[in-house]
Structure 1
Amino acid sequence: MDFKEQIDINRLPEHIAIIMDGNGRWAKNQGKFRVFGHESGVLSVKDIVEGCVEIGIKYLTVYAFSTENWNRPVEEVNALMELLISTINQEAETLNKNNIRLNAIGDLGSLPKKCIEDLDNAMQKTKENTKCTLTLALSYSAKWEIVEAAKKIAKQVEQKEINIDQIDEHLFASKLTTSNIPDPELMIRTSGEHRVSNFLLWQMAYTELYFTETLWPDFRRDHLFEAIVDYQKRERRFGKISEQLN
């Protein structure tokens, strides 16, 4: 029995987040430049998006570019931006045909102008789609996001729109870039690293974490299905004990 056949379709995670790691190492193993790994990683994104749509995952968020990634060599950053622009242009129509809405979170204003324009255009074209929401985390940092949320709340307090007693988890969450999507139930990280790397720190308070040695360019939908099967074997207690759940 393959992994897809083992999935309980009634217990799917509504939202899956992925840290796509290992492109550079994969390219090095092939004797290629790092950008070759990033280009090959795009094929994995396509296959995973199709896999999510195939079984009914409603939300998929991928960590495409962190704020820390700006510190990489200029040549690699430029190649990544060019790859992002070309991929958005090539895939926007495909997203539409498959009823997938494109979304983006992060410090988007720091991206190159052309990238922002193409991203905005693709999100506008797909905004009415309802089958799956694909969110790209671009120039994203969870610490940046939390600080920005705190600033928004502080400004509202300063302008006497709210008082301090009104600040709670729900208000804070409403100021995050993910306020329009549910928190992820499952986070997958490829390449064997065991950390969350400043990704969705607030949102992953109770997310199930899944780590795999597979490098991102080799990650395909069967690996995704394997992660979901593993997720469905876990007991999610949210601070309670097993007897309370049963």
Structure 2
Amino acid sequence: MAAKDITGESPAHVAIIMDGNGRWATARGWPRLVGHRRGAERVRSIVEAAPGLGIRYLTLYAFSTENWKRSTEEVIGLMTIFARYIQSEAQRLSAEGVRLRFIGGRERLDKKLQKLMAGIEARTAGNDRLHLTVAINYGGRDELARAARALAEDAAAGRIRPEEIDEAAFARRLDTADLPDPDLVIRTSGEMRISNYLLWQSAYAEYEFTDTLWPDFTPDELATILSRYNRRERRYGGALTA
């Protein structure tokens, strides 16, 4: 069933922690990688539904800096899934006006995967219907450390004075420098933690936690969450209005 369009004040930027792929597969007696492949298929339906739900920016947590601790088989399988997703979706994303880019450290990724990532970023750079960002080898603390290091290097080189370092200067060194902060962060699978995701950017985001495992997360459930979001009052530290 297609999700109904949202007519209220929908969040412009939604970030999702796509959790539960492995458990989804294990519950069915299948290898964990089957769940990850099904999760990649789920991305397509959510991306297709996002513009009709009023979402202009969609950021997905695909692989964290901590995920390298998983088995070699699972890590290699995940990297293969990422590469196949880029190859299979490049034409469709480009045709549908989706701009795809990636955040996170790339130096540890396979060179071929890095090339595919750079290629699709260049191919879709002019698109503006939906800004899709995928976090691969991403960790919020790592991102903050890299931003601090960049500022320190700029200060040491005389490109910036210490007194000029403020929140705006710091934000410009983040991976998401040209993206708005997320309005809403969703985590699937029932876990109620943020797992080192967009720590700076989500300072004033609203959160939603759902028990649904990512492969079962539908556009209709997303629409329901957005409806709840529309009824919230975001005060950014201010007082509740009458």
TM bucket by the smaller chain? Answer: over 0.9
Q: Which protein is richer in helix relative to its size?
A: 1
Q: Which residue of 2 aligns with 1:30?
A: 28
Mapped contact 1:96–1:126 kept (Cα < 8 A)? yes
Give the Cα–Cα distance (whole angstroms) in 2 for the partners of residues 104 and 68 of structure 1.
17
SS at match of 2:63: strand
Cα deviation code 1:8-62 (max 9, x no counterpart):
34x1111000000000100011110000000000121111101102233110000
Cα deviation code 1:203-232 (max 9, x no counterpart):
000000000000000001011101111111
Give the 4+ runs in structure 1 shifted more than 4 A: none
Amino acid corresponding to residue 37 of structure 1 in structure 2: G
Among all aligned residue pairs of Structure 1 and Structure 2, give the percentage whose two residues are the same amino acid.
Answer: 45
1:148 has 2:146 as partner: yes
Give the Cα–Cα distance (whole angstroms) in 2 for the partners of residues 196 and 18 of structure 1.
10
1:206 has 2:186 as partner: no
SS at match of 2:78: helix
TM-score between both structures, scaled by the size of structure 2: 0.97
**How many residue pairs align between the two structures?**
241
SS at match of 1:135: strand
Mapped contact 2:101–2:132 kept (Cα < 8 A)? yes
Q: CA RMSD in A?
A: 1.2
Give the Cα–Cα distance (whole angstroms) in 1 for the partners of residues 221 and 106 of structure 2.
30
1:181-196 equivalent positions in 2, closer than 5 A: 181-196=179-194
Give the Cα–Cα distance (whole angstroms) in 2 for the partners of residues 65 and 208 of structure 1.
22
Mapped contact 1:3–1:229 kept (Cα < 8 A)? no
Q: Which residue of 2 aligns with 1:136?
A: 134
Give the Cα–Cα distance (whole angstroms) in 2 for the partners of residues 130 and 3 of structure 1.
22
* Structure 1 range deviating more: 94-103 or 157-166: 157-166
Q: Which residue of 1 aligns with 2:111?
A: 113
Give the Cα–Cα distance (whole angstroms) in 1 for the partners of residues 151 and 82 of structure 2.
33
SS at match of 2:202: coil
Give the Cα–Cα distance (whole angstroms) in 2 for the partners of residues 29 and 162 of structure 1.
54
* Structure 1 range deviating more: 50-59 or 210-219: 50-59
Alpha-carbon spacing, 1:235–1:3, altered in 2? closer, same or farther (3 Å):
farther
Cα deviation code 1:54-97 (max 9, x no counterpart):
23311000000001011100000000001110110000000011
1:1-246 equivalent positions in 2, closer than 5 A: 4=4, 7-9=6-8, 11-243=9-241
Mapped contact 1:3–1:226 kept (Cα < 8 A)? no
Amino acid corresponding to residue 19 of structure 2 in structure 1: D
Amino acid corresponding to residue 110 of structure 1 in structure 2: R
Give the Cα–Cα distance (whole angstroms) in 2 for the partners of residues 56 and 92 of structure 1.
23
TM-score between both structures, scaled by the size of structure 1: 0.95
SS at match of 2:136: strand
SS at match of 1:4: coil
Mapped contact 2:147–2:174 kept (Cα < 8 A)? yes
Amino acid corresponding to residue 4 of structure 1 in structure 2: K
Unmatched tracts of structure 1, length 5 or more: none
Unmatched tracts of structure 2, length 5 or more: none
Amino acid corresponding to residue 237 of structure 1 in structure 2: R
SS at match of 2:100: strand
Amino acid corresponding to residue 227 of structure 1 in structure 2: I
SS at match of 2:61: strand
Cα deviation code 1:115-152 (max 9, x no counterpart):
11111111111110010010000000000000000011
Q: What is the deviation of 1:3?
A: 7.2
